[in-house]
Chain A
Protein backbone atom coordinates (compact mmCIF):
# COMPACT_ATOMS: atom_id res chain seq x y z
CA UNK A 1 0.00 0.00 0.00
CA UNK A 2 1.29 3.44 -0.87
CA UNK A 3 1.90 6.01 1.80
CA UNK A 4 -0.39 9.01 2.33
CA UNK A 5 -0.02 11.72 -0.30
CA UNK A 6 -0.74 14.84 1.74
CA UNK A 7 -1.43 16.42 5.07
CA UNK A 8 -4.64 18.41 5.17
CA UNK A 9 -5.82 21.13 7.57
CA UNK A 10 -8.93 20.07 9.47
CA UNK A 11 -10.08 23.67 9.73
CA UNK A 12 -9.57 25.20 6.30
CA UNK A 13 -8.70 22.22 4.09
CA UNK A 14 -5.36 23.55 2.82
CA UNK A 15 -3.00 20.71 1.87
CA UNK A 16 0.67 20.31 2.72
CA UNK A 17 3.41 17.84 1.73
CA UNK A 18 4.09 14.94 4.10
CA UNK A 19 6.62 16.47 6.48
CA UNK A 20 7.10 16.69 10.25
CA UNK A 21 4.68 19.60 10.61
CA UNK A 22 1.42 19.68 12.53
CA UNK A 23 -0.09 23.14 12.29
CA UNK A 24 -1.67 24.88 9.32
CA UNK A 25 0.40 27.93 8.45
CA UNK A 26 -2.72 29.81 7.60
CA UNK A 27 -5.19 29.22 10.45
CA UNK A 28 -3.23 27.17 13.02
CA UNK A 29 -5.68 24.29 12.55
CA UNK A 30 -4.36 20.76 13.12
CA UNK A 31 -3.02 18.87 10.09
CA UNK A 32 -4.40 15.41 9.34
CA UNK A 33 -3.20 12.44 7.32
CA UNK A 34 -5.09 12.43 4.01
CA UNK A 35 -5.60 8.94 2.56
CA UNK A 36 -6.57 7.66 -0.86
CA UNK A 37 -9.42 5.46 0.36
CA UNK A 38 -10.19 4.09 -3.08
CA UNK A 39 -6.67 2.73 -3.36
CA UNK A 40 -6.90 1.24 0.14
CA UNK A 41 -10.30 -0.27 -0.65
CA UNK A 42 -8.70 -2.08 -3.58
CA UNK A 43 -6.14 -3.90 -1.42
CA UNK A 44 -7.60 -4.28 2.07
CA UNK A 45 -9.87 -7.09 3.20
CA UNK A 46 -10.84 -8.85 6.42
CA UNK A 47 -8.58 -11.68 5.26
CA UNK A 48 -5.48 -9.49 4.73
CA UNK A 49 -6.03 -8.08 8.20
CA UNK A 50 -6.49 -11.51 9.76
CA UNK A 51 -3.22 -12.63 8.13
CA UNK A 52 -1.34 -9.70 9.69
CA UNK A 53 0.53 -9.55 12.99
CA UNK A 54 -1.34 -9.55 16.31
CA UNK A 55 -0.61 -5.85 16.83
CA UNK A 56 -1.68 -2.46 15.49
CA UNK A 57 0.36 -3.27 12.38
CA UNK A 58 -2.34 -5.65 11.10
CA UNK A 59 -4.07 -2.39 10.03
CA UNK A 60 -0.99 -0.95 8.29
CA UNK A 61 -3.01 -0.04 5.18
CA UNK A 62 -4.93 2.49 7.29
CA UNK A 63 -1.85 3.93 9.03
CA UNK A 64 0.18 6.85 7.62
CA UNK A 65 3.49 5.10 7.03
CA UNK A 66 5.11 3.55 4.03
CA UNK A 67 4.84 -0.23 3.95
CA UNK A 68 8.61 -0.60 3.60
CA UNK A 69 9.62 1.53 6.58
CA UNK A 70 11.22 -0.56 9.33
CA UNK A 71 8.72 -0.37 12.17
CA UNK A 72 9.48 0.76 15.68
CA UNK A 73 7.48 -2.05 17.22
CA UNK A 74 7.21 -3.48 20.73
CA UNK A 75 4.00 -5.31 19.85
CA UNK A 76 1.49 -2.62 20.79
CA UNK A 77 -2.19 -3.29 20.24
CA UNK A 78 -4.50 -6.20 19.51
CA UNK A 79 -5.19 -6.20 23.24
CA UNK A 80 -8.05 -8.28 24.67
CA UNK A 81 -11.64 -7.12 24.28
CA UNK A 82 -13.23 -8.96 27.18
CA UNK A 83 -16.88 -9.39 28.18
CA UNK A 84 -17.49 -7.85 31.61
CA UNK A 85 -20.62 -9.54 33.02
CA UNK A 86 -19.84 -8.92 36.69
CA UNK A 87 -19.17 -5.20 36.23
CA UNK A 88 -22.14 -5.08 33.86
CA UNK A 89 -24.41 -6.57 36.53
CA UNK A 90 -23.26 -3.90 39.01
CA UNK A 91 -23.91 -1.11 36.53
CA UNK A 92 -27.05 -2.50 34.91
CA UNK A 93 -25.46 -3.02 31.47
CA UNK A 94 -26.27 -6.47 30.08
CA UNK A 95 -23.78 -6.53 27.21
CA UNK A 96 -20.65 -4.76 28.45
CA UNK A 97 -17.17 -5.22 26.97
CA UNK A 98 -13.85 -3.78 28.11
CA UNK A 99 -10.94 -2.97 25.81
CA UNK A 100 -8.09 -3.91 28.11
CA UNK A 101 -5.27 -1.65 26.94
CA UNK A 102 -3.48 -2.03 30.28
CA UNK A 103 -1.65 -5.01 28.75
CA UNK A 104 0.26 -3.00 26.14
CA UNK A 105 4.10 -3.08 26.24
CA UNK A 106 4.28 -0.06 28.57
CA UNK A 107 0.79 -0.65 29.97
CA UNK A 108 -1.23 2.06 28.25
CA UNK A 109 -2.78 2.84 24.86
CA UNK A 110 0.06 5.29 24.22
CA UNK A 111 2.13 2.44 22.79
CA UNK A 112 -0.22 2.44 19.80
CA UNK A 113 0.36 6.07 18.91
CA UNK A 114 4.06 6.13 19.72
CA UNK A 115 4.80 3.07 17.58
CA UNK A 116 3.30 4.90 14.60
CA UNK A 117 4.93 8.24 15.49
CA UNK A 118 8.47 6.91 15.86
CA UNK A 119 8.18 4.70 12.78
CA UNK A 120 7.27 7.85 10.83
CA UNK A 121 10.02 9.85 12.58
CA UNK A 122 12.55 7.29 11.40
CA UNK A 123 11.12 7.49 7.89
CA UNK A 124 11.76 11.27 8.08
CA UNK A 125 15.33 10.58 9.24
CA UNK A 126 14.77 12.26 12.60
CA UNK A 127 17.30 11.23 15.24
CA UNK A 128 15.84 12.17 18.64
CA UNK A 129 12.45 11.18 20.11
CA UNK A 130 10.76 13.66 22.44
CA UNK A 131 7.45 14.27 24.17
CA UNK A 132 5.64 16.37 26.71
CA UNK A 133 3.77 13.99 28.94
CA UNK A 134 1.50 13.36 31.90
CA UNK A 135 3.34 10.05 32.29
CA UNK A 136 2.02 7.32 30.00
CA UNK A 137 3.26 8.96 26.83
CA UNK A 138 6.72 9.37 28.36
CA UNK A 139 6.85 5.66 29.18
CA UNK A 140 5.87 4.72 25.65
CA UNK A 141 8.31 7.12 24.00
CA UNK A 142 11.21 6.07 26.22
CA UNK A 143 10.61 2.37 25.63
CA UNK A 144 10.08 2.59 21.87
CA UNK A 145 13.09 4.91 21.50
CA UNK A 146 15.20 2.40 23.42
CA UNK A 147 14.10 -0.37 21.07
CA UNK A 148 14.90 1.82 18.05
CA UNK A 149 18.24 2.97 19.47
CA UNK A 150 17.13 6.61 19.46
CA UNK A 151 17.92 9.03 22.30
CA UNK A 152 14.73 10.25 24.02
CA UNK A 153 13.97 13.50 25.85
CA UNK A 154 10.81 13.56 27.94
CA UNK A 155 9.29 16.68 29.48
CA UNK A 156 6.92 16.16 32.41
CA UNK A 157 5.35 18.10 35.27
CA UNK A 158 7.63 17.79 38.33
CA UNK A 159 4.70 16.72 40.56
CA UNK A 160 3.95 13.52 38.62
CA UNK A 161 3.49 10.23 40.43
CA UNK A 162 6.78 8.46 41.29
CA UNK A 163 5.68 5.41 39.32
CA UNK A 164 5.49 7.39 36.11
CA UNK A 165 8.93 8.93 36.55
CA UNK A 166 10.73 5.66 37.24
CA UNK A 167 8.93 3.91 34.39
CA UNK A 168 10.26 6.50 31.96
CA UNK A 169 13.76 6.87 33.40
CA UNK A 170 14.39 3.12 33.41
CA UNK A 171 14.52 3.06 29.60
CA UNK A 172 17.33 5.59 29.58
CA UNK A 173 15.34 8.67 28.58
CA UNK A 174 16.52 12.12 29.62
CA UNK A 175 13.76 13.48 31.85
CA UNK A 176 13.21 17.23 32.07
CA UNK A 177 10.94 17.88 35.08
CA UNK A 178 9.07 21.16 34.73
CA UNK A 179 7.74 23.17 37.64
CA UNK A 180 4.32 23.62 36.11
CA UNK A 181 1.20 21.75 34.97
CA UNK A 182 0.85 19.75 31.78
CA UNK A 183 -0.45 22.67 29.75
CA UNK A 184 2.66 24.65 30.73
CA UNK A 185 4.88 21.68 29.87
CA UNK A 186 3.23 21.50 26.48
CA UNK A 187 3.75 25.17 25.89
CA UNK A 188 7.48 24.76 26.50
CA UNK A 189 7.53 21.69 24.23
CA UNK A 190 6.04 23.73 21.40
CA UNK A 191 8.86 26.25 21.82
CA UNK A 192 11.56 23.56 22.06
CA UNK A 193 10.16 21.80 18.98
CA UNK A 194 10.59 25.08 17.11
CA UNK A 195 14.25 25.27 18.09
CA UNK A 196 15.46 21.64 17.82
CA UNK A 197 14.95 19.09 15.02
CA UNK A 198 13.54 16.45 17.37
CA UNK A 199 10.56 14.21 16.74
CA UNK A 200 8.10 15.49 19.35
CA UNK A 201 5.48 12.80 19.13
CA UNK A 202 2.65 15.07 20.26
CA UNK A 203 3.82 18.15 18.37
CA UNK A 204 5.60 17.99 15.02
CA UNK A 205 4.79 14.32 14.28
CA UNK A 206 1.34 14.47 15.83
CA UNK A 207 -0.56 14.06 12.53
CA UNK A 208 0.99 10.58 12.30
CA UNK A 209 1.03 9.82 16.03
CA UNK A 210 -2.67 10.45 16.54
CA UNK A 211 -3.65 8.06 13.73
CA UNK A 212 -2.49 5.18 15.96
CA UNK A 213 -5.60 5.61 18.13
CA UNK A 214 -7.82 4.52 15.23
CA UNK A 215 -6.64 0.97 15.88
CA UNK A 216 -8.77 0.91 19.06
CA UNK A 217 -11.87 1.20 16.87
CA UNK A 218 -10.58 -1.26 14.27
CA UNK A 219 -9.84 -3.84 16.95
CA UNK A 220 -13.14 -3.50 18.80
CA UNK A 221 -15.07 -4.04 15.57
CA UNK A 222 -12.89 -6.96 14.43
CA UNK A 223 -12.91 -8.60 17.86
CA UNK A 224 -16.71 -8.40 18.01
CA UNK A 225 -16.73 -10.51 14.84
CA UNK A 226 -16.87 -7.51 12.50
CA UNK A 227 -19.78 -5.84 14.26
CA UNK A 228 -20.07 -2.23 15.38
CA UNK A 229 -20.66 -1.80 19.09
CA UNK A 230 -23.76 0.29 19.87
CA UNK A 231 -21.73 2.50 22.22
CA UNK A 232 -18.10 3.27 22.91
CA UNK A 233 -17.07 5.08 26.09
CA UNK A 234 -13.75 6.91 25.83
CA UNK A 235 -11.80 9.09 28.29
CA UNK A 236 -11.04 12.63 27.10
CA UNK A 237 -7.66 14.25 27.78
CA UNK A 238 -6.57 16.10 24.67
CA UNK A 239 -9.62 14.60 22.91
CA UNK A 240 -7.46 12.99 20.23
CA UNK A 241 -8.26 9.38 21.10
CA UNK A 242 -12.01 9.92 20.94
CA UNK A 243 -11.78 11.79 17.63
CA UNK A 244 -9.64 9.06 16.11
CA UNK A 245 -11.86 6.25 17.36
CA UNK A 246 -14.73 7.91 15.55
CA UNK A 247 -12.54 8.36 12.45
CA UNK A 248 -11.56 4.69 12.64
CA UNK A 249 -15.20 3.58 12.65
CA UNK A 250 -15.90 5.74 9.61
CA UNK A 251 -12.84 4.49 7.74
CA UNK A 252 -13.97 0.88 8.13
CA UNK A 253 -17.09 1.88 6.21
CA UNK A 254 -15.12 3.97 3.67
CA UNK A 255 -12.97 1.02 2.64
CA UNK A 256 -16.04 -1.26 2.71
CA UNK A 257 -14.86 -3.56 5.48
CA UNK A 258 -18.11 -2.60 7.22
CA UNK A 259 -21.50 -1.26 6.15
CA UNK A 260 -21.97 2.51 6.11
CA UNK A 261 -22.63 4.46 8.17
CA UNK A 262 -21.40 3.23 11.57
CA UNK A 263 -24.22 3.58 14.11
CA UNK A 264 -21.94 3.56 17.16
CA UNK A 265 -22.58 6.34 19.68
CA UNK A 266 -19.28 7.66 21.02
CA UNK A 267 -19.38 8.97 24.60
CA UNK A 268 -16.72 11.02 26.40
CA UNK A 269 -15.55 10.70 30.01
CA UNK A 270 -13.87 13.47 32.02
CA UNK A 271 -12.94 14.08 35.65
CA UNK A 272 -15.03 16.87 37.14
CA UNK A 273 -11.79 18.61 38.19
CA UNK A 274 -10.74 18.96 34.55
CA UNK A 275 -13.83 18.89 32.36
CA UNK A 276 -13.66 21.59 29.67
CA UNK A 277 -15.30 19.36 27.04
CA UNK A 278 -18.05 18.18 29.41
CA UNK A 279 -18.77 21.79 30.36
CA UNK A 280 -19.11 22.79 26.71
CA UNK A 281 -21.35 19.77 26.07
CA UNK A 282 -23.58 20.62 29.04
CA UNK A 283 -23.77 24.28 28.00
CA UNK A 284 -24.64 23.33 24.42
CA UNK A 285 -21.83 25.44 22.93
CA UNK A 286 -19.18 24.56 20.32
CA UNK A 287 -16.35 26.47 21.96
CA UNK A 288 -14.25 24.63 24.55
CA UNK A 289 -13.09 27.07 27.19
CA UNK A 290 -9.75 26.16 28.80
CA UNK A 291 -9.72 25.35 32.53
CA UNK A 292 -7.03 24.94 35.19
CA UNK A 293 -6.87 21.20 35.94
CA UNK A 294 -7.36 19.97 39.50
CA UNK A 295 -7.85 16.20 39.61
CA UNK A 296 -6.15 12.95 40.60
CA UNK A 297 -6.75 11.77 37.02
CA UNK A 298 -3.46 13.31 35.90
CA UNK A 299 -3.13 11.31 32.69
CA UNK A 300 -6.15 13.16 31.30
CA UNK A 301 -5.70 16.47 33.18
CA UNK A 302 -5.41 18.66 30.10
CA UNK A 303 -7.04 22.02 30.68
CA UNK A 304 -6.66 23.25 27.11
CA UNK A 305 -7.41 20.18 24.99
CA UNK A 306 -6.13 20.62 21.45
CA UNK A 307 -8.77 18.28 20.01
CA UNK A 308 -11.50 19.39 22.42
CA UNK A 309 -13.74 21.03 19.81
CA UNK A 310 -13.46 18.00 17.50
CA UNK A 311 -14.12 15.56 20.35
CA UNK A 312 -17.21 17.56 21.26
CA UNK A 313 -18.40 17.51 17.64
CA UNK A 314 -17.75 13.75 17.31
CA UNK A 315 -19.80 13.04 20.44
CA UNK A 316 -22.69 15.22 19.27
CA UNK A 317 -22.68 13.90 15.71
CA UNK A 318 -22.84 10.27 16.86
CA UNK A 319 -25.56 10.93 19.45
CA UNK A 320 -23.26 10.40 22.42
CA UNK A 321 -22.84 12.33 25.67
CA UNK A 322 -19.99 13.69 27.78
CA UNK A 323 -20.23 12.99 31.52
CA UNK A 324 -18.03 13.70 34.52
CA UNK A 325 -17.18 11.99 37.78
CA UNK A 326 -15.90 13.27 41.13
CA UNK A 327 -12.56 12.32 42.66
CA UNK A 328 -14.28 9.91 45.06
CA UNK A 329 -16.20 8.28 42.21
CA UNK A 330 -12.92 7.80 40.32
CA UNK A 331 -11.37 5.87 43.20
CA UNK A 332 -14.59 3.88 43.84
CA UNK A 333 -14.70 2.94 40.16
CA UNK A 334 -11.06 1.77 40.10
CA UNK A 335 -11.87 -0.49 43.06
CA UNK A 336 -15.14 -1.70 41.49
CA UNK A 337 -13.44 -2.64 38.21
CA UNK A 338 -10.66 -4.49 40.01
CA UNK A 339 -13.11 -6.39 42.24
CA UNK A 340 -15.54 -7.38 39.51
CA UNK A 341 -13.33 -7.99 36.48
CA UNK A 342 -9.79 -8.41 37.80
CA UNK A 343 -8.42 -5.40 35.91
CA UNK A 344 -6.42 -2.81 37.86
CA UNK A 345 -6.67 0.47 35.99
CA UNK A 346 -5.24 3.90 36.59
CA UNK A 347 -7.33 6.97 37.34
CA UNK A 348 -8.33 7.54 33.70
CA UNK A 349 -9.87 4.06 33.68
CA UNK A 350 -11.68 4.99 36.88
CA UNK A 351 -13.10 8.00 35.09
CA UNK A 352 -14.32 5.79 32.24
CA UNK A 353 -15.96 3.24 34.54
CA UNK A 354 -17.53 5.99 36.65
CA UNK A 355 -18.98 7.57 33.53
CA UNK A 356 -20.25 4.16 32.33
CA UNK A 357 -22.24 4.01 35.55
CA UNK A 358 -23.66 7.51 35.03
CA UNK A 359 -24.60 6.82 31.43
CA UNK A 360 -26.39 3.63 32.49
CA UNK A 361 -28.23 5.47 35.28
CA UNK A 362 -29.22 8.29 32.94
CA UNK A 363 -30.69 5.87 30.42
CA UNK A 364 -28.13 6.45 27.67
CA UNK A 365 -28.11 2.72 26.85
CA UNK A 366 -31.18 0.88 25.59
CA UNK A 367 -31.90 -2.65 26.74
CA UNK A 368 -29.66 -5.08 24.87
CA UNK A 369 -27.24 -2.41 23.61
CA UNK A 370 -23.66 -3.55 23.28
CA UNK A 371 -21.29 -1.20 25.11
CA UNK A 372 -17.48 -1.08 24.77
CA UNK A 373 -15.43 0.90 27.29
CA UNK A 374 -11.78 1.84 26.79
CA UNK A 375 -9.59 0.92 29.78
CA UNK A 376 -6.55 2.80 28.57
CA UNK A 377 -3.92 2.46 31.29
CA UNK A 378 -2.93 0.32 34.24
CA UNK A 379 -3.01 1.07 37.95
CA UNK A 380 0.45 0.09 39.15
CA UNK A 381 2.03 3.33 37.89
CA UNK A 382 -0.28 5.46 40.04
CA UNK A 383 -0.73 3.78 43.40
CA UNK A 384 -1.06 7.05 45.31
CA UNK A 385 -4.78 7.73 44.71
CA UNK A 386 -5.80 4.24 45.83
CA UNK A 387 -3.14 3.69 48.52
CA UNK A 388 -5.62 3.87 51.42
CA UNK A 389 -7.83 1.21 49.79
CA UNK A 390 -4.92 -1.19 49.69
CA UNK A 391 -3.82 -1.90 53.28
CA UNK A 392 -3.63 -5.25 55.11
CA UNK A 393 -6.99 -6.23 56.58
CA UNK A 394 -5.35 -7.46 59.79
CA UNK A 395 -1.75 -7.77 61.03
CA UNK A 396 -0.94 -10.67 63.34
CA UNK A 397 2.02 -12.68 64.67
CA UNK A 398 2.47 -16.06 62.94
CA UNK A 399 0.18 -17.86 65.40
CA UNK A 400 -2.86 -20.03 64.66
CA UNK A 401 -4.48 -18.82 67.88
CA UNK A 402 -4.30 -15.21 66.82
CA UNK A 403 -5.60 -16.10 63.38
CA UNK A 404 -8.61 -17.92 64.95
CA UNK A 405 -9.24 -14.92 67.18
CA UNK A 406 -9.50 -12.61 64.15
CA UNK A 407 -11.86 -15.07 62.47
CA UNK A 408 -14.07 -15.10 65.56
CA UNK A 409 -14.03 -11.30 65.66
CA UNK A 410 -15.29 -11.37 62.07
CA UNK A 411 -12.24 -9.50 60.74
CA UNK A 412 -11.40 -12.40 58.42
CA UNK A 413 -14.39 -13.95 56.67
CA UNK A 414 -14.40 -17.72 57.40
CA UNK A 415 -16.04 -18.46 54.05
CA UNK A 416 -13.47 -16.45 52.11
Chain B
Protein backbone atom coordinates (compact mmCIF):
# COMPACT_ATOMS: atom_id res chain seq x y z
CA UNK B 1 0.00 0.00 0.00
CA UNK B 2 1.72 3.26 -1.10
CA UNK B 3 2.55 5.94 1.43
CA UNK B 4 1.44 9.46 0.49
CA UNK B 5 3.24 12.57 1.80
CA UNK B 6 0.77 15.30 2.67
CA UNK B 7 1.81 18.99 2.52
CA UNK B 8 0.86 21.49 5.22
CA UNK B 9 -2.12 23.01 3.35
CA UNK B 10 -3.88 19.62 3.31
CA UNK B 11 -3.08 18.46 6.83
CA UNK B 12 -6.20 19.87 8.38
CA UNK B 13 -8.04 17.26 6.32
CA UNK B 14 -5.71 14.44 7.36
CA UNK B 15 -5.90 15.36 11.06
CA UNK B 16 -2.36 16.78 10.88
CA UNK B 17 -0.85 13.54 9.60
CA UNK B 18 2.14 14.30 7.35
CA UNK B 19 2.02 10.85 5.79
CA UNK B 20 -0.93 8.55 5.16
CA UNK B 21 -1.52 5.15 3.56
CA UNK B 22 -3.73 4.88 0.52
CA UNK B 23 -4.68 1.98 -1.70
CA UNK B 24 -4.70 1.97 -5.48
CA UNK B 25 -2.43 1.22 -8.41
CA UNK B 26 -2.64 4.67 -10.04
CA UNK B 27 -2.69 8.25 -8.80
CA UNK B 28 -6.34 8.50 -9.80
CA UNK B 29 -7.22 5.48 -7.62
CA UNK B 30 -5.14 6.88 -4.75
CA UNK B 31 -6.96 10.21 -4.92
CA UNK B 32 -10.32 8.40 -4.90
CA UNK B 33 -9.26 6.36 -1.87
CA UNK B 34 -8.04 9.50 -0.05
CA UNK B 35 -11.41 11.10 -0.78
CA UNK B 36 -13.08 8.16 1.01
CA UNK B 37 -10.74 8.43 3.99
CA UNK B 38 -10.74 12.23 4.14
CA UNK B 39 -13.88 13.68 2.52
CA UNK B 40 -13.09 16.86 0.58
CA UNK B 41 -9.62 15.68 -0.43
CA UNK B 42 -10.34 15.22 -4.13
CA UNK B 43 -11.78 18.69 -4.54
CA UNK B 44 -8.49 20.12 -3.27
CA UNK B 45 -6.45 18.11 -5.75
CA UNK B 46 -8.64 18.27 -8.85
CA UNK B 47 -10.63 20.98 -10.62
CA UNK B 48 -14.24 20.71 -11.79
CA UNK B 49 -13.18 18.71 -14.87
CA UNK B 50 -11.40 16.14 -12.71
CA UNK B 51 -7.98 17.33 -13.89
CA UNK B 52 -5.11 17.97 -11.50
CA UNK B 53 -5.23 21.61 -10.31
CA UNK B 54 -2.46 23.61 -11.95
CA UNK B 55 -0.69 24.53 -8.72
CA UNK B 56 -0.59 20.98 -7.38
CA UNK B 57 2.45 18.86 -8.14
CA UNK B 58 2.36 15.11 -7.56
CA UNK B 59 5.46 12.95 -7.58
CA UNK B 60 5.80 9.19 -7.78
CA UNK B 61 9.19 8.59 -6.20
CA UNK B 62 11.30 11.40 -7.65
CA UNK B 63 9.32 11.94 -10.86
CA UNK B 64 6.63 14.56 -11.54
CA UNK B 65 3.52 12.78 -12.84
CA UNK B 66 3.13 15.51 -15.48
CA UNK B 67 6.20 13.94 -17.14
CA UNK B 68 4.52 10.51 -16.96
CA UNK B 69 0.85 9.65 -17.46
CA UNK B 70 -0.69 12.32 -15.25
CA UNK B 71 -3.44 10.98 -13.00
CA UNK B 72 -3.16 7.60 -14.78
CA UNK B 73 0.48 7.21 -13.73
CA UNK B 74 1.02 3.77 -12.22
CA UNK B 75 2.69 3.38 -8.86
CA UNK B 76 5.35 0.65 -8.74
CA UNK B 77 5.54 -1.55 -5.63
CA UNK B 78 7.33 0.16 -2.77
CA UNK B 79 7.25 3.67 -4.35
CA UNK B 80 5.90 6.55 -2.33
CA UNK B 81 3.73 9.43 -3.55
CA UNK B 82 4.36 13.10 -2.65
CA UNK B 83 1.95 16.00 -3.04
CA UNK B 84 3.80 19.33 -3.15
CA UNK B 85 2.66 22.89 -3.91
CA UNK B 86 4.43 24.71 -6.75
CA UNK B 87 7.02 27.24 -5.53
CA UNK B 88 8.69 30.29 -7.04
CA UNK B 89 12.30 31.18 -6.99
CA UNK B 90 15.42 31.97 -8.96
Contacts and interface: CB of A to CB of B under 8 A. Distances in A.
Query: Are A and B physically bound partners?
Result: yes
B5 A190 contact: no
B89 A289 contact: no
A203 interface: yes
Contacts of A29: 55
B9 interface: yes
B45 to A, nearest CB: 8
A238 interface: yes
Interface string B62-77: 1010110000000000
Interface in B32-58: 44, 53-57
A306 B44 contact: no
B79 to A, nearest CB: 16
A306 B10 CA distance: 19
A24 B9 contact: yes
Contacts of A299: 90
Contacts of B24: none
Contact of A202 (B18, B57, B62, B88): B88
A269 to B, nearest CB: 14
Given A11-B55, A25-B9, A194-B8, A210 B88 contact: yes
A184 B82 CA distance: 13
A23 B85 contact: yes
Interface residues of B, number: 26
Contacts of B57: 187, 304
Nearest to B47: A27
A286 to B, nearest CB: 9
A189 B84 CA distance: 10
Most buried by A among B67, B82, B90: B90
Nearest to B66: A290
Given A25-B12, A28-B44, A137 B55 contact: no
A302 interface: yes
Contact of B7 (A194, A300, A306): A194
A28 B89 contact: no
Contact of A133 (B18, B56, B90): B90
Contacts of A306: 55, 86-89
Given A237-B90, A306-B87, A27 B64 contact: no
Given A184-B62, A194-B8, A304-B57, A28 B90 contact: no
Nearest to B45: A28
A90 to B, nearest CB: 28
Given A24-B9, A25-B12, A194-B8, A30 B55 contact: yes
Contact of B90 (A137, A189, A194): A137
Interface in B1-43: 5, 7-10, 12, 18
B9 A28 contact: yes
Contact of B84 (A110, A182, A190, A202): A190
B7 to A, nearest CB: 6
Contacts of A77: none
A186 B55 contact: no
Most buried by A among B53, B56, B84: B84
B90 A300 contact: yes
Contacts of B18: 194
Given A184-B62, A191-B84, A290-B64, A27 B55 contact: yes
Given A25-B12, A194-B18, A290-B64, A237 B89 contact: yes
A245 to B, nearest CB: 14
B40 to A, nearest CB: 9
In the complex, the 9 A-B pairs of residues with the closest C-beta atoms, listed nearest first: A28-B55, A238-B88, A202-B89, A306-B86, A306-B88, A23-B85, A237-B90, A25-B9, A240-B88
Given A25-B9, A28-B85, A133-B90, 9 more contacts: A28-B53, A132-B87, A183-B64, A187-B59, A191-B82, A206-B87, A239-B88, A290-B66, A304-B86
8 contacts: A25-B9, A134-B89, A184-B62, A187-B57, A187-B59, A190-B7, A299-B90, A304-B86
